[in-house]
Amino acid sequence: MTIDTTNMCSHLQKKLFEEDGIYHSLWIAMQDDPELTAVVRSRQLHIYRNGKKVLVLAGKSAPKIIREDAICELLQTTNEASAESSSLELCLARRSCDEIEIERIKQMEQRFNKALAAIKDGSAISLKAVKEDVAELSKYYGSELWKQDFAADEAGNLPPDLKRGVLSEDGIWNLLSDYRDIQKKKQ
Output the pLDDT for position 76: 56
Whether 88 and 79 have beta carbons less than 8 Å apart is answered as no
Output the pLDDT for position 98: 66
pLDDT category at 142 given cuts 50, 70, 90 is confident
Nearest to 22 by CA among 63, 70, 69: 63
Average pLDDT, whole number, for the chain?
Answer: 82
- Per DSSP, the residues of 15-55 read HHHSTTSTTHHHHHHHHT-TTEEEEEETTEEEEEETTEEEE
Distance CA 98, CA 90 (A): 10
Digit-coded pLDDT (tens) for 159-175: 888 898 999 888 889 99
Digit-coded pLDDT (tens) for 1-43: 788 888 888 888 888 888 888 888 888 888 888 999 999 988 8
Whether 187 and 139 have beta carbons less than 8 Å apart is answered as no
